[in-house]
Chain A
Amino acid sequence: MSADPVNTRDRPTLRRLAAVPAGCRGLTEPLIEWLIRICGWSAILFVAAIFFFVLREAAPMLFGKLDLVEFFTSTDWQPTSEVRQRYGILALLVGTLHVSLLAMAIAVPLGLGAAVYISEFSRGRTRETLKITIELLAAIPSIVWGFIAYMVLGPLIIRVTGAPVGVNLFNGSVVLALMSVPIIVSVGEDALKAVPDAYREAALAMGASRWEVIVRVLFPAAKNGLLAAVLLGIGRAIGETMAVLMATGHAVLIPRSLFDPVRTLTATIASELGEAVKGGDHYRVLFVIGLVLFAVTFVVNFVADVVVKGVGSERRA
């Protein structure tokens, strides 16, 4: 038991430890170690189990009669047709990418800007108020965002732009951006705060302006954390379901303008899976879409990983 990190001067702890019979402590320690180990492994276990379940439901269609070329290149989504069922997800895929990219184009500058302001410029009460308010923003349920999109933003877009539909690509992107901003801000702010003050002091001492300190010193030093912030934001955008279902208009269409309605992969699963005949072709194709979403998330994470490592090795060289 020599490895036990017990501070011998900490008398209350020593007394407490002494009160527990040695046999019990001998049992408790490995037990807790195992509990923590299980917690760690459970994440992998759950992901693997979910992937297995989705694959099992999708497999008969995926390796069976689903024409993968048609699946990825056709915009014809008629899964319940009485004439001929057609499963083309191109429009849904394009819709998901459009909404996510546009949402990020709004959310990343806004989120990182807010993170920089909170971490580097604001002080005292302003800072605390901002932090609490932004955390509150993160706690708003997605159905409420959807409702705002539907009832407030939609009619407003019609009135201001004269677009025929208020629930559209722009509406969906704005709502998703507002939903991911709080995540980007809080994770980004933590990353900036983690940069030691010595970096800032050294840069300022060498005559750098505050702008130069932020762009040349803080951003490179905190890049992993900032990238994590952006990735979590993208994750929220791609995975979001209820709010986009209500805000995008849910129309199978390749958008030609910012104000055309679109449909996302997630919203399609959400709205159609409930009533699809269990075990039927439509049901299984919706699970294949689930696999596509898995793949998209995996690629995003993988690319981010490569980018982080790539930038790191460049700097070392």
Chain B
Amino acid sequence: MGGARRHPEGGQVVSCAALAMGLVAVFLAGCGGYLSQADGTPRVMIRVEGSDTMVNIAQAWAEEYHRQQPGVVVQVLGGGSGVGIASLIDGNCDMANSSRQMKPEEIADTQSSRGSRAVEHVVGFDAMGIYVHPTNPITGISIPELAAIFVEHPAITRWSQLGVTMPVGVPDTIIRVSRQNSSGTYSYFREHVLGKGYDMGLGSLDANGSKDAVALVSRTPCAIGYSGMGYATPGVKMVPVARQVGQPWIEPSVENAKSGAYPITRPLLIYTVGDPVGAVGAYMQWIMAEDGQEIVRQLGYVPVK
């Protein structure tokens, strides 16, 4: 190793160090939530994560808001209500979308790890659709009948028990399409259709997402499943739902959900740590105002006002 060789290496070390410092600077800037635009104005990043039911709507809000406020970037991730809440607790996102309410232990975790309480915002409503195959002749179903199909040790296992005659070649068996047991949609359905104190029956096809549940029903002629109303496709039929046996069946529509006539309507929630301030606060206000709520309406969900 001659002394003459040292110089170029030394130069490399210096440039490497500069590069590393540059990377660290970029990294720190990213962590702080501020990125620099080409023209030097600061760009604000809001991180949103959570519910699979709400990911479409969150994406639409993010795009429209960015169009109106180019200085703000909203990053939207799905994964499920539980994932979003866990991420909020860990400080990895600013807003957690959720289709279920936070559990007491999650509220306690937020308080202990973020030093502030979790604040719940109702940003819209979702009518939960009951989906069947388009060839299924069923005209309506009641909540107690749904419960008797989906509960543990179900009393109803055949379509004929509901007075439905399936088309020729389609089995009479009811195939239940449910969701994975850790999803927000699953726990909402269990609590509000089956009622507290009941468990969902095993042996259902447990789809891994709102869209998958609908897709599975569209490919299984004797299936019945539940998923957000916004996930309807031409390959499935939504069944009107009655609160009790013998009561009128209510169509799942925005109007019926808004008036409260449709029996399985659930709130769409966003959780923040403390009352939102700054960029997140402005975004939250925008979501609750005219523009944000118009997007809720356009995507087939129910606005708050």
Contacts and interface: CB of A to CB of B under 8 A. Distances in A.
A155 to B, nearest CB: 5
Contact of A82 (B180, B197, B203): B197
Given A167-B205, A252-B203, A272 B175 contact: no
A81 B199 contact: yes
B215 A150 contact: yes
B197 A278 contact: no
Given A78-B199, A252-B203, A275 B216 contact: no
B220 A158 contact: yes
A167 B80 CA distance: 24
Interface stretch (A134-142, A243-251, A305-313): A243-251
B182 A274 contact: yes
B199 A83 contact: yes
B116 interface: no
Interface string B184-218: 10110011000011111011111110001001100
B303 interface: no
Which size class do A's interface residues fall under? 35 or more
Contact of A275 (B175, B180, B200, B222): B180
Interface stretch (B67-75, B81-89, B137-145): B81-89
B86 A252 contact: no
Interface residues of B, number: 43
Nearest to A76: B202
A91 interface: yes
Nearest to A276: B182
A277 B105 contact: yes
> Which of B173, B181, B204 has the most chain A CB atoms inside 10 A of its CB?
B181
A91 to B, nearest CB: 7
A167 B196 contact: no
Given A166-B220, A277-B103, A251 B182 contact: no
B292 interface: no
B221 to A, nearest CB: 7
A157 to B, nearest CB: 10
B219 A251 contact: no
Interface in A145-169: 150-151, 154-155, 158, 162-167
Nearest to B204: A251
Given A275-B82, A275-B83, A275-B182, A155 B169 contact: no
Contact of B202 (A91, A162, A249): A91
B181 A274 contact: no
A165 B83 contact: no
Given A81-B199, A275-B183, A162 B219 contact: no
Nearest to B105: A277
Nearest to B176: A251
A23 interface: yes
A253 B182 contact: no
Contact of A253 (B82, B105, B186, B202): B202
A79 B190 CA distance: 14
A166 B219 contact: yes
Contacts of A172: none
A166 B221 CA distance: 10
A163 B196 CA distance: 34
Given A167-B216, A276-B82, A282-B182, A253 B203 contact: yes
A190 B119 CA distance: 62
A80 interface: yes
Contacts of B186: 80
A272 B181 contact: yes
Contacts of B199: 78, 81-83
Nearest to A163: B171
B79 interface: yes
Contacts of A40: none
A298 to B, nearest CB: 28
A117 interface: no
B4 interface: no
B251 interface: no
A82 B194 CA distance: 12
Nearest to A261: B205
B294 interface: no
A75 interface: yes
A219 B224 CA distance: 51
Shortest 10 CB-CB contacts between residues of A and residues of B: A275-B82, A275-B182, A252-B202, A275-B80, A271-B180, A253-B203, A164-B171, A80-B181, A250-B206, A249-B205
Interface of A: 23, 75-83, 91, 150-151, 154-155, 158, 162-167, 245-246, 249-253, 261, 263, 270-272, 274-278, 280, 282
Given A246-B208, A261-B203, A276-B82, 8 more contacts: A77-B202, A79-B182, A82-B191, A164-B222, A275-B180, A275-B183, A275-B184, A278-B86
